[in-house]
């Protein structure tokens, strides 16, 4: 998607698109406070890893004239899914979407990929 900088309509359109693409993941919207409370209750080694990845998103100043530029869903019995909506860069103003899944089961580390070559098939669609 392309966007003019700070357009709140783009955020709403992106959320609508996410709900159409991932209907099973977006059935149960969750409040940010609920996610933060869950993170705070995690064992130290889990909490440290989750906060390192997710805290910068939760604390970031929104770009789309909203109170936040991410949305959180609770996936019953599995965990939380956070959709982070952000601009690619100031020049192109492409909207990008990063998806973070935080499972309920105990973890000892996290990993994520942003390799465009590895995910070329996903990114080109």
Number of domains in the chain: 1
Q: Give residue-wise pLDDT tens across range 40-63.
A: 988 888 888 888 888 888 887 766
Q: Give residue-wise pLDDT tens across range 107-118.
A: 455 555 566 666
Residue 3 lies in a domain: no
Residue 1 lies in a domain: no
Residue 50 lies in a domain: yes
Residue 113 lies in a domain: yes
Q: Give residue-wise pLDDT tens across range 65-82.
A: 555 678 889 987 888 999
Residue 68 CB-density burial (10 A; 0-12 exposed, 13-18 middle, 19+ buried): middle
Residue 95 lies in a domain: yes
Q: Compute CA 44 distance to the chain's CA centroid, rounded to the nearest angstrom.
A: 22
pTM of the model: 0.69
């Amino acid at each position: 998607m392309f966007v003019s900088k700070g357009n709140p309509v783009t955020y709403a359109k992106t959320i609508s698109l996410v709900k159409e693409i991932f209907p099973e993941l977006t059935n149960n919207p969750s409040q940010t406070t609920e996610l933060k409370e869950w993170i705070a209750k995690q064992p130290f080694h889990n909490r440290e890893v989750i906060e390192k990845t997710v805290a910068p998103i939760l604390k970031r100043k929104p770009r789309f004239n909203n109170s936040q530029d991410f949305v959180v869903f609770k996936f019953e019995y599995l965990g939380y899914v956070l959709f982070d909506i952000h601009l690619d860069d100031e020049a192109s103003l492409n909207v990008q979407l990063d998806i973070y899944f935080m499972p309920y089961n105990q973890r000892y580390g996290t990993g994520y990929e942003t390799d465009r070559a590895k995910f070329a098939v996903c990114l080109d669609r």
